[in-house]
Homo-oligomer: A and B are copies of this chain.
């Protein structure tokens, strides 16, 4: 489990965990991720780079994966982006995808994303956290937009919205993971929505 100091507000006894130390670790991790592959970033290296004892890292995160997840969510995908529903659900979704893609074009984004997917395959705990948090947060956003579309009558109400969402994210993931370098650009967002459009709107 991630036991980040900032989350556990109740512990009061003893010396509190230092936020500066947290920052040093996260920062060192980012620096190392820039210059090395994820698998080559070891806890030892992070500790050395951050001038921190290894124990200090293990006190906060129980694995490299947990640390990575926090680094990714807080630094690379640092804010949830969103769109205000305009009344045109499909257009909103296309906008949202475009915003996602901006983040995913961050130089560390795809390296980090792949690392998360890989870790998720190895570590059941991490998988749970990754999918129920990171992934679901984003799924939910899209689903809400679709739902709004249903409510204004733009989107058919007899469809599985979940499937539509899976399709969208599946398409993105496939591109991300295959490493083929196919770009996540505005055109792709348009295509994705385009292909779903006839399915959704009548």
Contacts and interface: CB of A to CB of B under 8 A. Distances in A.
Given A117-B121, A122-B38, A174-B173, A167 B179 contact: no
Contact of A166 (B124, B159, B163, B171): B171
A160 interface: yes
- Tell me the number of copies of this protein: 4
A62 B37 CA distance: 19
Interface string A21-57: 0000000000000000111000000000000000000
Interface string A116-148: 011111101001000100010000000000000
A105 interface: no
A198 B202 CA distance: 10
Chain A interface main SS type? helix
B199 A195 contact: yes
Given A173-B173, A175-B166, A195-B198, A118 B127 contact: no
